[in-house]
Chain A
Amino acid sequence: MVKRFFERFYVLIIFVLLYAPIAILFVLSFNASKSRAKWGGFTFKWYGELFHNSDIMSALYTTLIIAVLSATIATIIGTVAAMSIHNSRKLPKMVLMNATYIPILNPEIVTGISLMLFFIMFKINLGFITILLGHIIFNVPYVILNVLPKLRQLNKHTFEAALDLGATPTEAFFKVMLPELLPGIITGFLLSFTFSLDDFVITYFVKGAGINTLSTKIYSEVRKGIKPEMYALSSIMFLTILVLLLIVNKRSEKQEKKAAVKG
C-alpha cells in the first residue's frame, strides 16, 4: 500500500512539473496586464485582439500552411522512398537506411546551418520556399521510418493475388497495398505535421528576413516580452488539439471494442 502511494505521488509530481508551465500560459492569457510579471485582473480581451494582430495572424497562417504542405509532400516522398528502400538489395538498402537516419540523428542546429549554407550556395532566396523545403527534408525520414515496418509486415502475395484476380498493377497498388500501409502513412503524416508546427531551430536558420512562423515570432519577442495575444493563441491551439486527440482516442477505443466483440 505504501509503495502504491509513493508511486502515485511520484507520477503526480512529474505531471505537476510537466503541466505547471502550461497552466502559467493559460493564466497569462487571461491577464489584463501586458506584463507577465504582474496580475492586472481577469480579461478575455486578448482572445479578441488576437484576431486583429496582423503579425500573429500572418505567422499563424505561415505556420499552418507550411505544416500542411510539408507534411503532405514529405508523406508522398517518404512513402515512395520507403517502397524503394524496401525493394532494394541488401547493400544499397543499408546505405540508404543509414543516410535516412542522418537528419534524425544530426543535431538540429547542424541540419539548420547546413541547409542554410546549401540554400545560399544555390542562391535560393531565404523565405517561404526554403522553410517549406527545410521542413520537408527534415520530415521525410520520419515518414520512411513509419512506413517501412508496415511494408515489412505486408504479405507479398496479396499484391500478386490482386494481379491474379485481374487488377492492373496500379489498381492493385491503390486497392490492396495502400490500405495496408495506411496506418504507417497516417502516423508519418501526423508526426511530420507536429514537427513542422513546433519546429524552431531549422526554421530559424533558413527563414530569412520578413517571414515568421509562430516559433520564430515567439523567439523574436522573448527579450522584449511576449505579447499576451500569443498566450491566447497558444491556449486556443492547445485546447483544439486536446479535443481533437480525445475524439480520435474515443473513436479508436470504440473501434477496438467493436473489433473485440466481433473477434
Chain B
Amino acid sequence: MAEEKIIDLMGISKSYDGNIVLDNFNLYIRKNEFLTLLGPSGCGKTTTLRIIGGFENADSGKVIFEGKDISTIPPHKRQLNTVFQKYSLFPHMNIEENIAFGLKVKKMDKQFIKDKVKYALKLVNLEGFEKRSINSLSGGQQQRIAIARAIVNEPRVLLLDEPLGALDLKLRQDMQYELKRLQRELGITFIYVTHDQEEALTMSDTIVVMNKGKIQQIGTPEDIYNEPKNAFVADFIGESNLFDATMLQDELVEIFGVKYPCVDKNFGINTPVDVVIRPEDVNLVDPTDGITTGTVTSAIFKGVHYEMTVDSFGVEWLIHSTKLSQTGTEVGINVKPFDIQIMYKPKGEDAEAVMLDE
C-alpha cells in the first residue's frame, strides 16, 4: 500500500497567535483519489490545504510528496496547483492569458500553449472563450476558468479550497458532477476542502472529517454516513437523533429506559455510550407495534419526505418519512437493530477530538 501514497503529512502542527489550528496532524493521500477535508469553519481544513500548497509553513512536521520532503520548498516549485476560494483570476488578463500563465512562466512553446489552452477550455466546457475578459463571465464560468488554469499545468495533485462556496445551489450541484467527471478524466489526485457535507458525500472517494485541528474520522462517504465514529461526526454529517444511552450487554442498548436490540458487541456491560439513529431509519408504526410510543408534535412537508418530530415521554425524535402522520397522532416508534449506531463516549476534556490514525 505504501507505494500508493502521493502525499504524506507527518505530525503537522500549526498555531496562530497561540491558537492551535493543527495539532500533530497525520494523514496520507493516495494516488488518484478524490479526498475531501470536511469540517466546520476553523477546524483547520483550509490550513492543511495551504500547508500542502506551500502558502503556509507548518510549525513542525513534514510534508512528503512522492517520497520527498517538500516542507521548505516554495509554492512555485511544487508540482501542485490550487483552485482558490475566490477564483483569484488575474483581472488584467483575458481568459487565454490567465490559463496560459503557468505554461508561459515555464517557457513552453507557443503552439503547445495554444493547444493546451484550447484543450483545457474544452475540458471545462467553455470552448471558444479565449479572448473574453474575466469580467464578462458569471461566477460559475469564472470557477471553470480557475480550474482550467490549474489543470493545464498537469499537476500531480489539484488542491481545491471551497471552490463552489460562492455559487448558488443549482450551479453548485452541476459543478459537483463536473468536478467528479474531470477528476476521472484527468486521473489525478484531488484534495478538496469544504464545510458542506452534501458536497463531500457526493464527490469524494475518501472523506476526512476534521474538528479543532484533529481528524475525527477517515472513511468512504458510506462509512462516514452510516457508521460515524463519534457524536461529532454523527452530528456534523446529515441529520440525526443523538442520544445518551447505556450498552446493557452485547446487542442490547437502553435509551431513556427503553431497551432496543442492536448489532454491536464488545462494549462491555452497562457501558455509557452515544447512540445515533438517522431520521430516515426511524419507522412510525401503530402504537401497539412500536418498541416505544409517542405523540407527533410537528409535521412539515419537505418535498421528498415529511419531517416530523415525535415526543416520546419527554425524549424528542426526528423522523423523515414519505408517509405523513398528522400532528397529535399517537404513534409507535420502531428502529431496526442494524440502524442503531453505537459509539463510545469521548474521554477526557478535549471532548469530540478523538485522534484516529488509520
Contact, chains A and B (beta carbon distance below 8 A) = no
A: residues with CB less than 8 A from B are none
